[in-house]
Amino acid sequence: LKGGHETPLILNTIDSSEIIKRIKKISVELNAPIITGAICFQLFQNLNSSSSKPTGDGRFFDVYNASLMITPDNRKVQWAAKSKLVPFMERVPFLDNFSFMEKFHLSLNQMKSSYAKPLQQTIFTYRNIKAAPVICMESVFPDHIRDLVKKGANCLTVMTNESWSGTTIGPAQQAYYCVPLALTMNRSIARSANS
């Protein structure tokens, strides 16, 4: 949000978020769904996972590298969390079994700590669209994409923040990888990169 501050997206109350209301208005004007990436928080009354952190008021929260679908109808916001998290950058390996390893996190993501993993994969639906939200490096895991296609995805949406890779060939490689991915999965791909 403009005004020199950021308002966190809390999944528990995301539909009442001002930024989501603004995106919803654009979705209505376009009469089309909008899919975007976001860092989202989810609040819990009890410790939820190995990556949960205390809020300071007795509750806990998890943070997700997520994708959102905002539609022009009265549906609630659909969300999906990235499940193939980059080791040490997005999540310390083996964190579920060895929580002390969080100290090895490289602090390269926006939270400077490990993101939570989703419990299940999600397909976004709107009318005849069944979009598989693919977040960044998930696109290089064909088995993951195949699972989303088996769940009914008729198109793939790849959202990525490639600004971290600077002037390397990384962004081009990831973009080119979408071509064989579309061919092998027999699905159209919509790709968006902020770089």
Q: How far apart are CA 85 and CA 82, in angstroms?
A: 7
Q: What is the mean pLDDT of the chain?
A: 84
Q: What pLDDT does residue 140 have?
A: 86
pTM: 0.84
The HSE-up count of residue 112 (CA atoms within 13 Å, CB side) is 0
Q: What pLDDT does residue 161 have?
A: 81
Q: What pLDDT does residue 141 have?
A: 87
Q: How far apart are CA 89 and CA 105, in angstroms?
A: 7
Q: Which residues pair with 34 in a beta bridge?
A: 70
Q: What pLDDT does residue 33 have?
A: 96
Predicted confidence (pLDDT) per residue in 70-88, tens digit? 999 999 999 999 988 877 7
Predicted confidence (pLDDT) per residue in 110-167, tens digit? 555 677 888 888 999 999 999 999 998 888 889 999 999 999 999 999 998 877 777 8
Q: How far apart are CA 193 and CA 9, in angstroms?
A: 21
Predicted confidence (pLDDT) per residue in 10-45, tens digit? 999 999 999 999 999 999 999 999 999 998 999 999
8 A C-beta contact, residue 181 and residue 142: yes
